[in-house]
Amino acid sequence: MPTDKIRVVVVGQTPPPFHGQGIMIERIVNAQFKDVSIYHVRMAFSGTMDQVGRFQIGKLFHLVGVILHIVYARIVHRGQVLYYPPAGPNRVPMYRDIIILLATRWMFA
């Protein structure tokens, strides 16, 4: 009897810039899984390593876009699981994570 694949919404930055978490998220997004479908919502808050962890006004607009893309993936692709790896200990990314998760986490099992 065939079963539906688990639909996972993966939220995270993929290169550039090239850093450990971004590279690993890219591997997850590009992997082929037998029983899992991946829907990627790319975070592109930083184009270079110098921008990582720093506040820029344009990042606020991107924040709204990320939240809307997560909602879209939940509704249109019927995402069941939200995979959201948190940022490091810097304040700006921590506040970003809190805002995104408060706005979207409740929609997923």
For the chain, percent of residues with pLDDT exceeding 90: 54
Nearest residue to 54 (alpha-carbon basis) of 66, 62, 43, 45:
45
pLDDT at 48 over 80: no
Q: Quote the pLDDT of residue 44.
A: 79
Given this model, what pLDDT does residue 3 score? 65
**What is the chain's mean pLDDT, rounded?**
85
Residue 8: strand, helix, or coil: strand
pLDDT exceeds 50 at position 1: no
Please compute the mean of the pLDDT values over residues 15-34 and round it to a whole number: 86
Residue 79, helix vs strand vs coil: coil
Comparing C-alpha atoms, which of 105, 109, 78, 88 is closest to residue 11? 105
* Its pTM surpasses 0.75: yes
